[in-house]
Amino acid sequence: MLRQVLIYQKDYIFFQRTFGRALDLLKIESLYDNIKKDTLSAYSNEFGSFDYVKFRLSYLAIKDKEIIILFVTGLMDDFFSNIRFELFALKDHLINNYDDFDDLQDTENLGKLVDEIHRKLKPKIALIGFSGVGKSTIKNLIKMDKIPLNHIPTINGDIATIKIGNLYFSLWDFAGQEQYSYLWKTFIKGSDAVLIITNSSPNNVEKSKYFLKLVKKEVPYAHVAIIGNKQDLPDALKRNEMEEMLGARVYEMIANVAKNREKMVHIIAEILDMDIETSSLLEPIQEKEILINQAASALKSKNYEKASTLYKKIAKICLEDLNEHGKGNEYLEKSLKLTNFINSLKSWN
């Protein structure tokens, strides 16, 4: 996943964009000095990559202009097969669109290109678990597809590109039948995050230890979360019981309840190490939550016209940015009911 983009011109940052938690500027500045020495000297390579803690720093220089492009990604992102091409695409954009490199002010189009690069280097999230635990239901909850009432086994796997706010990611759902176990390690390769799904029963939780070992072996740098699904069943273990058995963080879930989609979105943000309150990619989610609180305050103070307007804004975010059509229509209906109520009050007066 592309986490940060910085473009230096003569040691000055004239463009930066942050997509998720990564390195603070003080740390980047200390690393930049070494990158500068490696790229801008006469006989050095113009591009390269190195790993720092849990990040990969990839860079490319335009030597005659003293410009350095820096990408900060996860360790799962491959420099030669993916990152290098996007660095050169950004370099070509700078050369072709900026005549005067001494006055780089217009960064709007540059920002659009960087957002497109992020979509190309989007994170991969893998769903894995044994058959019948609810992986496809969770996938549908994330996608806001129709949630199936009956279990239909996934054959081999399903890959989908998901958009939540301005965040794009690929979601991989694998067949959970044990006859396909030989495919599991292949499917999770390159994952930025892995969601291990269990149905919260004691037997299934115990068996799911296998997936923790598999993830640790095949994708040791991936973020991992365990979803304790089917919490509505009588034999479901509680979160603390599952965490004690697995030795890892567990999120309780009932995936066939549509309102839990918001909880699932927060889980995704957490395992991708993104802050909903500060990430530009997740601004629509934060904006929606702020507007919901404002609407509640407006209702409490009996400012019905303001509440109705706010509900319309919330509906627009749900429909256009978050793919939450059911929620969007629900808020439109609330707005309409308030408008009708306001009109009835006016008619009485």
DSSP 180-205: GHHHHHHHHTT-SEEEEEE-S-HHHH
Rounded mean pLDDT of 255-277? 87
Rounded mean pLDDT of 229-249? 94
pLDDT tens digits for range 183-222: 778 888 889 999 999 999 999 999 999 999 999 999 998 9
Q: Which two tokens stand for residue 306?
A: 């303001």
Cα-based distances in Å from 265 to 132, 201, 282 = 22, 24, 10
Q: What is the mean pLDDT of the chain?
A: 86
Q: Which residue has the higher pLDDT, 348 or 148?
A: 348
What's the pLDDT band for 321 if we cut at 50, 70, 90?
A: confident
Task: Judge contact between 214 and 184, C-beta under 8 A.
Answer: yes
pLDDT tens digits for range 133-192: 988 889 888 887 554 555 445 555 678 888 888 888 888 887 656 666 667 788 888 899
223-228/193-198 β-pairing: parallel
Rounded mean pLDDT of 269-282? 81
In the chain, what percentage of residues exceed pLDDT 70?
Answer: 90
- pLDDT given for residue 145 in this prediction: 59
Q: Return the closest-CA partner of residue 69 out of 33, 26, 122, 16.
A: 16
Domain spanning 2-120, CATH class: alpha beta
What's the pLDDT band for 91 if we cut at 50, 70, 90?
A: very high
Would you give the end-to-end CA distance of the chain in angstroms?
A: 59
In the chain, what percentage of residues exceed pLDDT 90?
Answer: 44
pTM (global) more than 0.85: no
**How large is the C-alpha radius of gyration of the chain?**
24
Rounded CA separation 45/136 (Å): 47
Q: Which two tokens stand for residue 82?
A: 């993916």
Q: Which CATH architecture has domain 124-271?
A: 3-Layer(aba) Sandwich (3.40)
Question: Would you list the domain boundaries of the chain?
Answer: 2-120, 124-271, 280-348
Q: Which two tokens stand for residue 130?
A: 């044994």
Topology annotation, domain 280-348: Methane Monooxygenase Hydroxylase; Chain G, domain 1 (1.20.58)
Neighbours of 316 (CB within 10 A): 16
**pLDDT of 324 higher than 60:** yes
**pLDDT of 110 higher than 90:** no
